[in-house]
A and B are shown apart, each in its own frame.
Chain A
Amino acid sequence: MSVDELSRAFRQHGRIVIVGASLAGLRAAETLREEGFTGSLTMIGDEPQEPYDRPPLSKQVLLGHMPADATPLPRRRALDAQWRLGVAATGLDLTGRQVRLADGEEVPFDRLLIATGTRARPWVKEAEADLDGVFVLRTSDDAARLNRRLTARPRRVLIVGAGFTGSEIASACRERGLEVTVAERGPAPLVGALGGVIGAVAAELQREHGVDLRCGITVTALEGDSAGRLTCAHLSDGTVLDVDVAVIALGAMRNTEWLAGSGVAAGPRGVACDAGCRAFDIHGIVTDDIFVAGDVARSPHPLFGYQFLSLEHWGNAVTQAEVAAHNMISSGPDRLPYLWVPAFWSAQFGVNIKSTGVPTMGDKLMITQGSLAEHRFTVAYGFQGRVIAAVAFDQARWLDFYRRLIETAAPFPLEFANVDRRPEGLRAVPSEFPDPSLPSHGPTVTLSGYSPSDRKVTFTPARM
């Protein structure tokens, strides 16, 4: 059979298995069907729910606007898939082409998509993490539990870690009129993702909205009463804080343990893949039939020096899943590279924050529009004389324009410095990313090295 015939036969009768039935898994499945795959399709997911959307969990759900189980993702089309929900994949047999499930079953495949995403990083001390009143937020069950507790109006909520998730939770709590303390090891909220200059604005926002924000502080211990209920938190400056709820928001861990020993290049940084979403094996050789997409993937990006990027964002999961799915049923020159420019949004304290490009790469920045003092601005990040990222606070409409500057490697500092003609933007200043070797909350765009098996991390996803 010629390559074309093989490819046609696979499209008609092949067996595709997708592990991880969430945003990336669902969008990949839809794309496979849309592009004419008529073979068998199996969706394996350890959560019992059908695929649902996570961003509303820290926003609409925690504001009490809607229940946690009300975010099932809309379907673009019928999937005609076999669903194995509520059962985890526990192993992968590369040569035998089978996925092992927790219930002992083995599911054979011709091509596999790994879309197992991430989970919340738990509190380090297990006994303390088990206290009643200690929460994380990743799943709809997490959100339901936390929302129930917030509805009971705790005296004070402690949020450990001021990354995007922690800051959004703090915002929701304040909007509900709850007392909130945020403890952040770094010098400001969002500093790992956006740097110190913009982090200072995030700090102002929090304080203006009544958050008791404590930076440069770590939580050293959580303490409970005899009934196992959280009562207080010990901080590194010696303070003891009475709290009955603590939310651990220290970033995410990639769900790759099930791939241990499989021969796929998978580890704590995720699963390395080529620009076409094909997973690498541990020797750095690309596999032909194993694909990766979403939060669990790390892939090289030509716009960013071919550095492997790990992106924990909604838009990445959707777009990468579509490219992976397309490539799973295409051959040779029909395959597409994954060239999406990273982008994400966050809504907190009434401000719409949006980002394009890779801010963590930008060592300089300039305010090109608006003003930091007004909390309404656009900032461009530069790296080695070119525009590498832009972030907008309540100025989202401009970001498409900046995305094109990034795509065309426009020179930095920008010539049109400050179209508003305000003093802040006239020059490029250091963006003040913290020393990557100092742990804080993690940025959600992570530069994770150059080679598939690279264990050396150039920008540590610094965590507490």
Chain B
Amino acid sequence: MRIVVDLNRCEGYAQCAFLAPDVFTMHGEEALMYTPHAGDAQREHVMRAAAACPVQAILVDQRDDQADEPAAQREAEAHVR
């Protein structure tokens, strides 16, 4: 699954780091580092972290079927003229 955090919004509350420590970690006092491409085993933790983020800064793939294959590739194939 793919993850991106809007770090302009993030205020370093670290809720995500408690709920999904394998994906979100604090670097220093308040800089957030995260794994943009986490295994699907993490999905439940990550979804919980995204829901708990007080500023809603965590964006996770909304497409369940997307898994780990390159979506663009698949869409490109679906559109071969």
CB distance from B24 to the nearest CB of A (A): 12
Chain B residue at smallest Cβ distance from A355: B8
- Confirm or deny: A72 has a beta carbon within 8 angstroms of a beta carbon on chain B: yes
Interface residues on B, range: 20 to 34
- Confirm or deny: A77 has a beta carbon within 8 angstroms of a beta carbon on chain B: yes
Q: Which residues of A contact B12 (CB under 8 A)?
A: 352, 396-397
A74 touches B35 (CB 8 A): no
Bound complex: CA of A396 vs CA of B11, how far in Å? 6
Binary A-proximity of B12-43 (CB < 8 A = 1, otherwise 0): 10000000000000011111111111000000
Q: What are the 8 A-B residue pairs with the smallest beta carbon separation, nearest first?
A: A350-B28, A50-B72, A352-B31, A74-B2, A347-B31, A70-B37, A74-B61, A83-B76
Q: Would you list 17 pairs from A and B whose C-beta atoms are within 8 A, ordered by A residue? A: A50-B72, A55-B7, A60-B33, A65-B33, A70-B37, A74-B62, A75-B61, A314-B8, A318-B6, A347-B28, A347-B31, A350-B28, A351-B29, A351-B31, A352-B32, A394-B29, A396-B12
Bound complex: CA of A91 vs CA of B68, how far in Å? 34
Binary B-proximity of A48-84 (CB < 8 A = 1, otherwise 0): 0111010110011001011000111111111111110
Bound complex: CA of A370 vs CA of B76, how far in Å? 52
Q: Which residues of B contact A76 (CB under 8 A)?
A: 59, 62
B33 touches A70 (CB 8 A): no
Known: A78-B63, A344-B8, A396-B12. A72 touches B28 (CB 8 A): no
Bound complex: CA of A135 vs CA of B74, how far in Å? 32
Q: Which residues of B contact A73 (CB under 8 A)?
A: 2, 4
A56 touches B72 (CB 8 A): no
> Which of A43, A72, A85, A349 meets B2, CB within 8 Å?
A72
| Partner-B contacts on A (CB < 8 A) | 21, 43, 49-51, 53, 55-56, 59-60, 63, 65-66, 70-83, 85, 314-315, 318, 343-345, 347, 349-352, 354, 376, 394, 396-397
Chain B residue at smallest Cβ distance from A71: B36
Chain B residue at smallest Cβ distance from A69: B37
A83 touches B75 (CB 8 A): yes
- Confirm or deny: B10 has a beta carbon within 8 angstroms of a beta carbon on chain A: yes
Q: Which residues of B contact A43 (CB under 8 A)?
A: 72
